[in-house]
Amino acid sequence: MEASCVTHIGICVRDMDRSLAFYRDALGMKVLGDRPTDPTEGGRQHNYKHSRKTRRWVSLAYGDGATPTLTLTSHPGEDPDGDAILLDQVGISHISFGVEDVAGLARELMAKSFDLAGPIESFTNDDGEIRSIYVRDPDGILVQFNQPS
């Protein structure tokens, strides 16, 4: 079997509104869908660590028809557990988006009071260019922005 593409990347968030303020409002992603879904998935919760009663699903992208989409899920009224992992831990360590002006985005995010995941100098190469940055979303998940080559 040969897959044709990555369709979406899913992350669980603690507070959907806070995450939407980051992904939609600060990063400019478009909400494609927002709805409650059934966490029992046909009577089973085999994809969950804990039994869940609620699930909110929000799909975002940088435009209609763009893939992969980013799927945010939360469990209203129920506390998720766990912490975001870092680059040297097993699991999906970050998501990455290509942007043309990484330095401009870094300045824009800092102006909106979002901290980079390190000092701006740590993302500056020997030629004085910023071609890649990391920020943390409201749950501490690493989000990279890099200049496509």
Domain holding 134: CATH number? 3.10.180.10
In the predicted structure, residue 128 carries a pLDDT above the cut 80: yes
Whether 93 and 74 share a structural domain: no
Distance CA 116, CA 100 (A): 18
Whether 134 and 65 share a structural domain: no
Whether 73 and 141 share a structural domain: no
Distance CA 39, CA 47 (A): 9
Nearest CA-CA partner of 97 in 60, 131, 147, 138:
147
Percent of the chain with pLDDT over 70: 97
In the predicted structure, residue 42 carries a pLDDT above the cut 70: no
Distance CA 20, CA 28 (A): 10
Residue span of the structural domain in which 137 resides: 83-149
Whether 136 and 92 share a structural domain: yes
pTM above 0.85, yes or no: yes
Kindly state whether residue 131 falls inside one of the protein's structural domains.
yes
Kindly state whether residue 72 falls inside one of the protein's structural domains.
yes
Host H or E run for residue 19:
helix 16-20
**pLDDT for 67:** 84
More confident residue, 66 or 29: 29
Whether 23 and 93 share a structural domain: no
CB atoms within 10 A of CB 70: 21
Whether 91 and 74 share a structural domain: no
Number of domains, the chain: 2
Mean pLDDT across the chain, nearest whole number? 90
